[in-house]
């Protein structure tokens, strides 16, 4: 029996954090003027790049591991429905409850209902991209439930009424004196004599979080991986806050993008090597927490897994574009991206910044809503080389640009150029005409839009006295 469930839908508007209010060039205009942020970003990405490069160089089989990671992900995408059904069965068998959420609205409604059923008006949160994506914190607050981020960087972002600007290091755009100010202003019970010494700041956050961990009965997490064969969920993290949330509360609610499933435990072996080295430059992440349903007397006694689509099926439907779903959120592509390093994460307008965001966000929302993102790259290819699961981001960008809506004047100019370039004789005449017209004028300054962007910072070359083909013909 087959059931038609409708065409895959993109992520709905008006909820979540996948769409910016500005185009990338508009948002980047503001970010580029923020010299403090650019210094913070450059320092942080340079440091991570160095660390990561060093530990990757230790592995003789890094390229083979990348191939393996890529192959496992391609296999997962080719049989995603079956794997998800297997996962649902195994989680249910182990005492968990599985919910399916078609989009952000459904997922937020399910989590809100589940929290309300516990009677709690506060949840502790493990750092999670999926819940940022769907705007869960905003939805919970609207329902009168206080979400408390427990990842240090996410906490800084939350207290600063800010948005994350990096997948892994959400507060990468902040320095320690900015963090001190945020803590003094927003952290309940903070010592007014707080200094900007990193250990002092960390101790302040620890004290605040410890109290919160011990007094909150419900936790919300994301998942880095879900193993279909046993129904096991996994979260990898560095601070241990995640493990507190995953073990202390009575109720645990996990929101997971459907692409996070892997077939077997053996597949985890590959990703647990790839992820920390590509991501934080560590040989192994400090905390790997895994849980399978409910274990009586140990850990949360109620476990809910929400399988989130929110546009993923639409991405999966594109044979080329679907490889964006291979992403394991390591952020290696952000750390090597020269565009990200200058423009910062907020310019991408989505919870997924950087190169992977430029290909993932427009696919999740529909390209019309994020049409400037595939162009937020110089196609330098550094992201492809850095990606631990070998996502060919430059090719994806080119693929999406081909689908993006184009400005009418650009379309006309490109069509005219192609037409002319397909006629060598007319092309040669045009080359000579352009030289005579001296469109460059005044040493190339002050060209009209869209060429004005060039002459704002660069001189145009002088037209040579003779084209190459004329030189060749005259030889």
Partner 1 sequence: MRIALFATCLADTLFPEAAKATVLLLERLGHEVVFPFEQTCCGQMHVNTGYQKEALPLIKRYVRTFEPYDVIVAPSGSCVGSIRHQHSMVAAKHGEAGLAARASAVGERTYELSELLIDVLKIEDVGAFYPHKVTYHPTCHSLRMTRVGDKPLRLLRQVRGLDLVELPAADQCCGFGGTFALKNAETSTAMLADKMTNIVSTGADVCSAGDASCLMHIGGGLSRLRTGVRTVHLAEILASTES
Of 22, 92, 175, 466, the residue at the interface with partner 1 (CB under 8 A) is 466
| Nearer residue to partner 1 within complex by CB, 308 or 373 | 373
Residue 50 touches partner 1, criterion: CB under 8 A: no
Residue 206 touches partner 1, criterion: CB under 8 A: no
Residues 317-346, mask of contacts with partner 1 (x by CB under 8 A): ---------------------xx--xx---
| Nearer residue to partner 1 within complex by CB, 134 or 359 | 359
What is the residue whose two structure tokens read 């400037």?
Answer: 372
Least separation in angstroms between residue 471's CB and partner 1 is 6
| Nearer residue to partner 1 within complex by CB, 93 or 385 | 385
Of 378, 429, 441, 446, the residue at the interface with partner 1 (CB under 8 A) is 378
Within 98-197, where are the H helices? 104-118, 129-134, 136-142, 152-159, 176-186
Least separation in angstroms between residue 130's CB and partner 1 is 29
Of 77, 194, 404, 439, the residue at the interface with partner 1 (CB under 8 A) is 404
Region near partner 1 per CB under 8 A, out of 138-146, 155-163, 298-306, 466-474:
466-474
Which residues in 264-275 are b (16+ Cβ under 10 Å) and which e? eeebbebbbbbb
Tally the C-alpha atoms within 13 A of residue 322's C-alpha that lie toward its C-beta. Answer: 17
Region near partner 1 per CB under 8 A, out of 278-286, 300-308, 353-361, 404-412:
404-412
Sort strands 225-227 and 122-125 into parallel, antiparallel or unpaired: unpaired
Paired tokens of 214: 């011990």
The C-alpha angle 19, 21, 24, rounded to 5 degrees, equals: 80
Residue 457 touches partner 1, criterion: CB under 8 A: yes
CA distances from 148 to 93, 126, 134, 152, 456 (A): 31, 9, 16, 11, 46
Q: How far is CA 238 from the centre of its chain?
A: 18
How far apart CA 396 and CA 399 sit, in angstroms, is 5
Paired tokens of 298: 């140990």
How far apart CA 378 and CA 384 sit, in angstroms, is 13
| Nearer residue to partner 1 within complex by CB, 271 or 348 | 348
Of 402, 429, 433, 438, the residue at the interface with partner 1 (CB under 8 A) is 402
Q: What is the CA radius of gyration of the chain?
A: 25
Least separation in angstroms between residue 369's CB and partner 1 is 16
How far apart CA 182 and CA 161 sit, in angstroms, is 9
How far apart CA 209 and CA 152 sit, in angstroms, is 9
Residue 411 touches partner 1, criterion: CB under 8 A: yes
Sort strands 122-125 and 146-149 into parallel, antiparallel or unpaired: parallel
Sort strands 232-237 and 225-227 into parallel, antiparallel or unpaired: antiparallel
Region near partner 1 per CB under 8 A, out of 14-22, 177-185, 351-359, 446-454:
446-454
How far apart CA 352 and CA 370 sit, in angstroms, is 12
Sort strands 232-237 and 287-292 into parallel, antiparallel or unpaired: antiparallel
Residue 377 touches partner 1, criterion: CB under 8 A: yes
What is the residue whose two structure tokens read 């044979």?
Answer: 319
259: DSSP letter: G
Of 121, 176, 381, 439, the residue at the interface with partner 1 (CB under 8 A) is 381
| Nearer residue to partner 1 within complex by CB, 110 or 343 | 343
Least separation in angstroms between residue 76's CB and partner 1 is 24
Residue 468 touches partner 1, criterion: CB under 8 A: yes
Q: How far is CA 87 from the centre of its chain?
A: 24
Residue 469 touches partner 1, criterion: CB under 8 A: yes
Q: Which of residues 416-435 bind partner 1 (CB under 8 A)?
A: 417-418, 421-422, 424, 427, 431, 434
Paired tokens of 394: 């430059």
Of 28, 83, 179, 315, the residue at the interface with partner 1 (CB under 8 A) is 28
Residue 124 touches partner 1, criterion: CB under 8 A: no
Q: Which residues bind partner 1 (CB under 8 A)?
A: 24-25, 28-29, 32, 38, 338-339, 342-343, 372, 374-382, 384-385, 394-395, 398, 401-404, 406, 410-411, 414-415, 417-418, 421-422, 424, 427, 431, 434, 444, 450-454, 456-461, 463-464, 466-469, 471-472
């Amino acid at each position: 029996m087959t059931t038609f469930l409708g065409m895959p839908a993109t992520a709905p508007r008006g909820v979540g954090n996948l769409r910016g209010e500005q185009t990338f060039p508009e948002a980047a205009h503001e970010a580029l003027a923020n010299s403090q942020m650019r210094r913070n970003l450059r320092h942080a990405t340079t440091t991570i790049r160095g660390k990561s490069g060093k530990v990757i160089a230790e592995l003789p089989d890094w390229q083979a591991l990348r191939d393996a990671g890529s192959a496992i992900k391609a296999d997962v995408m080719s049989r995603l429905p079956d794997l998800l059904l297997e996962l649902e069965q195994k989680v249910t068998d182990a005492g968990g409850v599985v919910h399916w959420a078609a989009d952000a609205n459904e997922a937020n409604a399910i989590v809100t209902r589940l929290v309300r059923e516990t009677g709690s008006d506060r949840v502790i949160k493990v750092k999670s991209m999926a819940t940022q994506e769907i705007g869960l914190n905003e939805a919970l607050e609207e329902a009168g439930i206080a979400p408390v981020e427990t990842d240090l960087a996410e906490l800084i972002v939350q207290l600063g009424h800010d948005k994350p600007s990096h997948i892994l290091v959400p507060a990468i755009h902040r320095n320690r004196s900015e963090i001190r100010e945020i803590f003094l202003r927003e952290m309940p019970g903070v010592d007014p004599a707080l200094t900007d010494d990193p250990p002092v700041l960390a101790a302040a956050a620890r004290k605040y979080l410890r109290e919160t961990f011990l007094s909150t009965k419900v936790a919300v997490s994301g998942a880095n991986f879900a193993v279909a064969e046993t129904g096991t969920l996994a979260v990898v993290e560095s601070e241990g806050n995640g493990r507190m949330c995953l073990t202390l509360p009575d109720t645990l609610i996990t929101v997971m993008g459907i692409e996070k499933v892997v077939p077997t435990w053996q597949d985890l072996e590959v990703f647990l090597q790839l992820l920390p080295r590509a991501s934080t430059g560590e040989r192994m992440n400090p905390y790997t927490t895994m849980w399978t349903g409910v274990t009586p007397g140990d850990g949360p006694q109620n476990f809910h897994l929400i399988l989130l689509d929110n546009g993923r099926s639409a991405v999966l439907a594109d044979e080329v574009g679907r490889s964006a779903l291979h992403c394991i959120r390591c952020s290696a592509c952000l750390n090597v991206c020269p565009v990200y390093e200058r423009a910062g994460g907020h310019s991408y307008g989505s919870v997924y910044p950087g190169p992977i965001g430029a290909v993932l966000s427009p696919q999740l929302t529909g390209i019309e809503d994020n049409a400037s993102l595939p162009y937020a790259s110089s196609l330098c290819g550094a992201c492809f080389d850095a990606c631990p699961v070998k996502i060919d981001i430059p090719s994806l960008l080119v693929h999406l640009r081909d689908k993006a809506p184009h400005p009418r004047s650009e379309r006309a100019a490109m069509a005219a150029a192609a037409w002319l370039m397909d006629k060598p004789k007319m092309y040669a005449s045009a080359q000579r005409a352009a030289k005579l017209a001296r469109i460059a004028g005044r040493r190339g300054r002050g060209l009209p839009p869209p060429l004005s962007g060039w002459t704002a910072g660069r001189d145009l070359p002088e037209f040579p006295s003779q084209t190459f083909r004329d030189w060749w013909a005259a030889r």
